Structure 1
Amino acid sequence: METTINLMPPTVLTFAATDPSSGAGLQADLLALASIGCHPLSVVTAITVQDTVGVENVVALDPDLINEQARTILEDMQISAFKLGMLGSVENIAVIAEIVADYPDVPLLIDPVLSSGRGDELANDAMQEAMIDLLFPQATLITPNSLEARRLAYAIDDSDDLENASMDEIVDRLLALGPEYVLVTGTHERSPQVINNLYGSQKLLRSYTCERLPGSYHGSGCTLASAIAACLAHGLGMEEAIAEAQEYTWQSLRHAFRPGMGQFIPDRLFWAREEVDAEE
């Protein structure tokens, strides 16, 4: 008689807003987490009206509903990692901060979504301040791009000294807020290659370099942050998790497709189609 071994996948809970295009937001998180072998759980923070071009409207859910969604699933399942994306309102941020505070041993990854690729505002000054005050002190890792890192630093201190500050100085300010690590992504820089820099303990720990691909992509930041959360949930250390997640994200961008009139969407299931093509 054969014995069947049931290996349960690690679970990752994402707090994020919906995206009907599945390019970014909640749907992007679920695709990436499942693709890397995790069981994705979700709390909807807001409903958006958007496509591959931009965001037309955002309706934040009631914070009591956020709390009910999260508490119900957390009482039922053991979580391996939290991933936070677009949170919708100051009230939602406050509630989520209380929730994750009850699980201090679970890695907390924050992708501080401040605007869409088109530039649509997704987090006002009050929301940025709430993230900084309530969530960053609890964070294992925050993953701003270079533009978001500067905006967050200005939210802390808008003095003229920041205008010419180096990224190292910017990150020093972010690390002082409490996160264990800061990963600054370089997709918005003009360098020939994309360079993502990991900081911790007030210093640069490691740089990750990949080929810069042509085109504009909807949800690349969501994909990378979710992929890191998935790799951590599988037990990898931070530096290795980021290396694996970056390779996965780059491959999803290399296989991206353009189903609409706007940005390309990362193919987070690229490996499945590669296997089918190989069989044919």
Structure 2
Amino acid sequence: MTPTPPTVLTFAATDPSGGAGLQADILALASIGCHPLSVVTGITVQDTVGVESVMALDSDWINDQARTILEDVQVSAFKLGLLGSVENIAVIAEIMADYPDVPLLIDPILTSGRGDELANEEMQAAMTELLFPQATLITPNSIEARRLAFYDEGDEVQNTSLEEAAQRLLELGTEYVLITGTHERSTDVVNSLYGTSPSGASGLIRAYHWERLAGSYHGSGCTLTSAIAACLAHGLSMEEAIQEAQEYTWQTLKNAFRPGMGQFIPDRFFWARDDDTDADEKVPFIQH
């Protein structure tokens, strides 16, 4: 029989534009040689400009979707995106608790690229209290990191340092925090990985510098977190997975296209459309 590729289960809401959400996860996972499994958490009305509305699925449907596939297929990693409701977060936390040895990666989506609110304060509290303590890695952008770390302290968090935010998030129980720096005022984009050293001290592990590309992109966060999950599923260490996934994501943004009137969409299969590469040499990005 043909060997089964690594499987990654994503919990996310749909995106009709294919830029973010469930569709983005599936494209990125498949591009990196994984078999994507999916649980639909909600249905969105959106385009490349922004999100008009979200309908969260009933939590019983979330539970049934996940439990059914997990009884059938062995999963190498979990990836969480837009979860839709407090009830969904609670039931997903219960499911994750039954699989403590499987890496859990969380892209804590709070707003759309346009700024549409996608997670209220109750959902933020539920994520930090129920899911973050079980997480292997969370990947907030700098705005999300400050909001989630100090969600109960009001607007003053805007001036909080990223180091303080990362420390608070680590104290919640997550093993690693990768804060992306797209929203920071810096010449290049600096993504910062925080965690606990072998000595027990927590703090910055490594800062990654990337050329800042022009334009606004729809689904870059979904792509990055899914790519890290895919790399972990292939057996890479966390730091190796984060490095490879950032390179992959940067390439998807460099080769992004604009199918509508809004943001650019990352090309998750950029490697398959490289005209300078012979057809026989076109292979998935991650090499084994």
User: Which residue is equivalent to 1:209?
Assistant: 209
User: Which residue is equivalent to 2:34?
Assistant: 38
Is 1:131 aligned to residue 133 of structure 2?
no
User: Which residue is equivalent to 1:245?
Assistant: 245
User: Which residue is equivalent to 1:174?
Assistant: 169
Deviation by residue 1:84-143 (Cα, 9 ceiling, x = unmatched): 000000000000000011000000000000000000000000000000110000000000
Q: Which runs of 5+ in 2 are unaligned?
A: 197-201, 280-288
Identity in percent:
76
User: Which residue is equivalent to 1:8?
Assistant: 4
Deviation at 1:7, TM superposition (A): 2.3
User: Which residue is equivalent to 1:51?
Assistant: 47
User: Which residue is equivalent to 1:62?
Assistant: 58
Letter of the 1:266 partner, please give it. P
Deviation at 1:158, TM superposition (A): 4.0
Distance 2:3 2:191 in 1: 33
Task: Supply the RMSD in Å over aligned alpha carbons.
Answer: 1.3
Letter of the 1:278 partner, please give it. T
Deviation at 1:156, TM superposition (A): 4.4
Letter of the 2:215 partner, please give it. G
Is 1:20 aligned to residue 19 of structure 2?
no
* 3-state SS, counterpart of residue 278 of structure 1: coil
Is 1:266 aligned to residue 266 of structure 2?
yes
* 3-state SS, counterpart of residue 232 of structure 1: helix
User: Which residue is equivalent to 1:191?
Assistant: 186
Deviation at 1:210, TM superposition (A): 1.0
TM-score (norm 1): 0.95
Distance 1:156 1:137 in 2: 17
TM-score (norm 2): 0.93
> Structure 1 residues 271 and 163 mapped into 2: Cα distance closer, same or farther (>3 Å)?
closer
**2:74 corresponds to which of 73, 78, 88:** 78
Q: Which runs of 5+ in 1 are unaligned?
A: none
User: Which residue is equivalent to 1:278?
Assistant: 277
Deviation at 1:207, TM superposition (A): 1.0
* Preserved contact between residue 146 and residue 158 of structure 2 (Cα < 8 Å): no
> Structure 1 residues 159 and 190 mapped into 2: Cα distance closer, same or farther (>3 Å)?
closer
Is 1:218 aligned to residue 214 of structure 2?
no
* 3-state SS, counterpart of residue 58 of structure 1: strand
38-47 or 202-211: bigger deviation: 202-211
Distance 2:245 2:218 in 1: 17
Distance 1:30 1:159 in 2: 35
Letter of the 2:107 partner, please give it. D
56-65 or 151-160: bigger deviation: 151-160
Deviation at 1:6, TM superposition (A): 2.4
* Preserved contact between residue 112 and residue 118 of structure 2 (Cα < 8 Å): yes
Deviation at 1:164, TM superposition (A): 3.6
* 3-state SS, counterpart of residue 264 of structure 2: coil
* Preserved contact between residue 146 and residue 160 of structure 2 (Cα < 8 Å): no
User: Which residue is equivalent to 2:283?
Assistant: none
Distance 1:116 1:228 in 2: 21
Q: May I ask how many residue pairs the two structures share in their alignment?
A: 274
Distance 2:264 2:153 in 1: 35
Distance 1:245 1:278 in 2: 21
Distance 1:17 1:143 in 2: 17
Deviation at 1:206, TM superposition (A): 0.8
Is 1:101 aligned to residue 114 of structure 2?
no
